[in-house]
Amino acid sequence: MSTDAPATTDTHCPYCALQCGMGLAPRADGGGLEVVERAAFPVNRGALCAKGRTATEVLAADARLTEPLVRRERSGELAPATWDEALDRVAAGLAGARRRHGPDAVGVFGGGGLTNEKAYALGKFTRLVLGSSQIDYNGRFCMSSAAAAGTRAFGLDRGLPFPLEDIPRTGCVLLVGSNLAETMPPALRYLTELRENGGTLIVVDPRRTRTAEQADLHLAPRPGTDLALALGLLHLVVAGGRVDEAFVAERTAGWEQARAAAMAHWPELVERITGVPVPQLRAAARMFCEPEAAMVLTARGPEQQSKGTDTVGAWINLCLATGRAGRPLSGYGCLTGQGNGQGGREHGQKADQLPGYRMLANEADRAHVARVWGVDPATLPAPGRSAYELLDALGRDTPDGVRALLLMASNPVVSAPHAAHVEERMRALDFLAVCDVVLSESARLADVVLPVTQWAEETGTLTNLEGRVLLRRKAAEPPPGCRSDLEVLRALAARLGWEKGFPAEPEEVFEELRRASAGGRADYSGISYRRIEREDGVFWPCPEREPERGAAHAPHPGTPRLFLDRFATEDGRARFAPVTHRPAAEEPTPEYPVLLTTGRVLAQYQSGAQTRRVGALNAAAPGPFVQLHPRLAERIGAAEGDRLAVTSRRGRAVAPARVSGDIRPDTIFMPFHWPGEGRANTLTNPALDPTSRMPEFKVCAVRVELADPAEPAEPADRDGSEGRAA
Ligand SMILES: Nc1nc2c(c(=O)[nH]1)N[C@H]1C(S)=C(S)[C@@H](COP(=O)(O)OP(=O)(O)OC[C@H]3O[C@@H](n4cnc5c(=O)[nH]c(N)nc54)[C@H](O)[C@@H]3O)O[C@H]1N2
Ligand SMILES: Nc1nc2c(c(=O)[nH]1)N[C@H]1C(S)=C(S)[C@@H](COP(=O)(O)OP(=O)(O)OC[C@H]3O[C@@H](n4cnc5c(=O)[nH]c(N)nc54)[C@H](O)[C@@H]3O)O[C@H]1N2
Ligand code: SF4
Ligand SMILES: [Mo]
């Protein structure tokens, strides 16, 4: 921080996609920073959830890594090392795998929490320095189905096509598989205001969540049946004569096929598939169609399914048929998840994409980016594997196996589906390097761990769920042993023969990102750090405008609202998705008679790597649990707090029972924030959506029984699993 910097720095929360504005001020007692209110920022207007309020605790030295660690050959243990030794080891590990097995034997796995600058640099590093096609990131586990469906329908994928401030002014919000009262608490206010203004809220969730409690109507389908539900609602729309024929004729294509699929899903059939009674279906169709404007918002519930892309497509169809898209206060939106869930997927860490949402398979896109990077387009690799497929290929002794991995900002040992298998694959690697701020369960398996700086210690841009590009500002100096991810990439690139092209200064990277994105679908070329500071963020697309001769320069204003005149497809029309219902990859059987779904609780974030290190959050959410209905509990003889064993075809997890009438009797719910015996992802199914390659986190078949009381509980180890044997 420069000496004349103001005492309070305006910045943003390190965690979710709402990217709440907050201030960071030096503590009165001189020890570190404290979070203070930043009321002027429009998204959260000062409100923060418990994670945001306690975020500075992860900056403390005792919560984090402050020196590089290298695995010692003799002891097999991770031990402190100098930066030079650690970086030399990483460069040698990556180069060695490439020399022995070719460039695609080196993989990179990124994260949607990385800033735009880091995501951009990581993709460029992989394609140029490593020459590898094998990069993907945890956002594949997050919104990739909504991204694929949005691109297919609208020609563009941006989480929300409107700012959050539009929500209170629409007539009805149909919220599908989002528990935002726990996952984005300050956003609940928009729904409260909607209802105060006379609008209605419909929530679709197999559980009666804190969010569902706010709804005028709560539909509780069986997990994995949203596609049928959406088709059933569209059926009722057609049968009730509520199709907006003029809109369909003028602004869409493909209606006949979509209509036929919906007509095959009559209400009684849909009741049988989903478990939602016909009168509730009728009520929902009525509530959605009655007001002049309405929105459908989805989150991970319908998206994290092996048919997530078609499922989101079916919800979009409902919007299109009723004319609730491409008009003011109407539309379909996806509530993205991670801090930079949106921007993280636009700038080149996704297996098939280049910066600016350009595509690796498109010649013109390759040529543009290659020009900015100063290389021959032919040297850019082809699209690579998706996240789970990449993890599944780790350490494989086959010609296409990935032998060395650079992991930056994800903790797949806890968060990947079929996690025991993924852990086994990671252990089989020839070489694993991890950049993280804490010694996560995945970092514990590494040969080299590089301790990096975090949010409040560095500057960078992030793109929130509204498509608003924000500036997260540096507010404190990092511990002396930490370096930024950008510095790490620069140092590795230099060791691998690229002295230039990898600046460590975020604004310099952003300037290059602007040029790389110019003319692309996610065009950031008109955005600058200065503009973001002045304007509380700028919505993309925001192309740079050449000043007109004689006239005062009017920069592009950014695009808070998309599609009002035309959709982003070539002919300007939105596309109906030709979708029909299909079952989940795993349906219940006598051996596995119960459905497991998974998700989040308020006080923990993701794999818990950061939030399990915060005292107040651990007190609020100390460990895993199995939420189950009293009828199911009675059937297996379980009472509140009893240890339950949950078994799927992939493994077994043990966690205490939480008996609650707020869940369907045929379904159990487990949060996925913990490692060890209660790890939900030991159970989950890596069945992938054929288009988005998103795994089916939200439904698999399990057996639930009382755990053997003689079996000792695993000690509650906050830091998780053992390291990798040498
Ligand atoms: N506290 C907290 N907040 C977070 C995060 C966190 O880890 N903790 N993570 C952030 C990230 S990356 C993300 S992606 C978002 C996720 O935000 P959400 O999508 O709101 O979170 P989830 O709990 O995964 O899923 C939401 C709901 O889907 C329901 N659900 C389960 N199966 C189905 C189904 O088949 N159909 C339907 N319709 N619903 C179903 C679950 O019961 C759950 O209540 O949260 C962000 N915010
Ligand atoms: N069963 C089940 N599993 C799920 C889901 C589910 O709903 N159910 N949801 C999925 C979803 S939506 C998501 S997004 C994934 C997320 O799962 P993960 O990818 O594991 O997410 P995090 O726990 O946020 O991991 C981020 C890691 O990066 C570190 N980190 C933070 N900031 C930085 C930084 O600036 N640089 C570097 N190098 N490291 C940093 C953190 O300390 C942490 O170790 O989980 C998925 N897994
Ligand atoms: S809602 Fe999200 S961005 Fe806001 S304070 Fe909580 S975790 Fe941070
Ligand atoms: Mo996510």
Protein residue whose Cα sits closest to atom 15 of ligand 1: 337
Protein residue whose Cα sits closest to atom 5 of ligand 3: 52
Q: What is the pLDDT of residue 548?
A: 78
Q: What is the pLDDT of residue 714?
A: 67
65 lines ligand 2 (CB under 6 A): no
**b/e per residue, 160-169, with b = 16+ CB within 10 A?**
bbbbbebbbe
Query: What Rg, from alpha-carbon coordinates, does the chain have?
Result: 25
Q: Which single residue is written with the structure tokens 């996609």? A: 17
pLDDT tens digits for range 661-692: 999 999 999 999 999 999 999 999 999 999 99
Q: What is the pLDDT of residue 710?
A: 75
Q: What is the pLDDT of residue 550?
A: 79
- Which atom, in ligand 1's list, is nearest to the CA of 211? 44
Protein residue whose Cα sits closest to atom 1 of ligand 3: 184
Tokens of 212: 């569902």
CA of 388 to the centre of ligand 2 (A): 14
Compute how many other C-beta atoms are within 10 angstroms of the C-beta atom of residue 647: 19
User: DSSP 3-state assignment of 631?
Assistant: helix
pLDDT of residue 720 exceeding 80: no
223 lines ligand 1 (CB under 6 A): yes
Give the rounded percent of residues in the chain with a pLDDT score beyond 90.
94
Least confident of 12-16, 145-149, 521-525, 716-720: 716-720
- Ligand 3 pocket, residues with Cβ under 6 angstroms: 13, 15-16, 18-20, 44, 48-49, 51-52, 184-186
- Which atom, in ligand 1's list, is nearest to the CA of 229? 38
CA of 407 to the centre of ligand 1 (A): 24
For residues 510-539, average pLDDT: 97
611 lines ligand 2 (CB under 6 A): no
pLDDT tens digits for range 105-149: 999 999 999 999 999 999 999 999 999 999 999 999 999 999 999
pLDDT tens digits for range 279-333: 999 999 999 999 999 999 999 999 999 999 999 999 999 999 999 999 999 999 9
Compute how many other C-beta atoms are within 10 angstroms of the C-beta atom of residue 4: 5
pLDDT of residue 69 exceeding 60: yes
**b/e per residue, 483-499, with b = 16+ CB within 10 A?**
bbbbbbbbbbbebbebe
pLDDT tens digits for range 429-441: 999 999 999 999 9
Q: What is the pLDDT of residue 6?
A: 58
Q: What is the pLDDT of residue 1?
A: 43
Q: What is the pLDDT of residue 30?
A: 80
Which of 16, 202, 274, 702 to probe ligand 1 with, by most ligand atoms within 8 A of CB?
16
220 lines ligand 1 (CB under 6 A): no
CA of 186 to the centre of ligand 4 (A): 17
pLDDT of residue 53 exceeding 90: yes
Which of 37, 184, 673 to probe ligand 3 with, by most ligand atoms within 8 A of CB?
184
340 lines ligand 1 (CB under 6 A): no
Protein residue whose Cα sits closest to atom 40 of ligand 1: 301
For residues 156-185, average pLDDT: 98
| Inter-helix orientation angle 83-101/485-495, to 10° | 60
What is the dihedral sign for C-alpha 590, 682, 406, 367?
positive
For residues 230-250, average pLDDT: 98
Q: What is the pLDDT of residue 246?
A: 98
Is 667 in contact with 613 (CB distance < 8 Å)?
Answer: no
337 lines ligand 1 (CB under 6 A): yes
**Pairing mode of beta strands 538-539, 353-354:** unpaired
pLDDT tens digits for range 364-421: 999 999 999 999 999 999 999 999 999 999 999 999 999 999 999 999 999 999 999 9
pLDDT of residue 188 exceeding 60: yes
Q: Which ligand is nearest to the CA of 63?
A: 2
For 621-672, where are the alpha helices, taking DSSP H only?
A: 630-636
Q: What is the pLDDT of residue 31?
A: 82
CA of 111 to the centre of ligand 2 (A): 7
Average pLDDT, the chain: 96
177 lines ligand 1 (CB under 6 A): yes
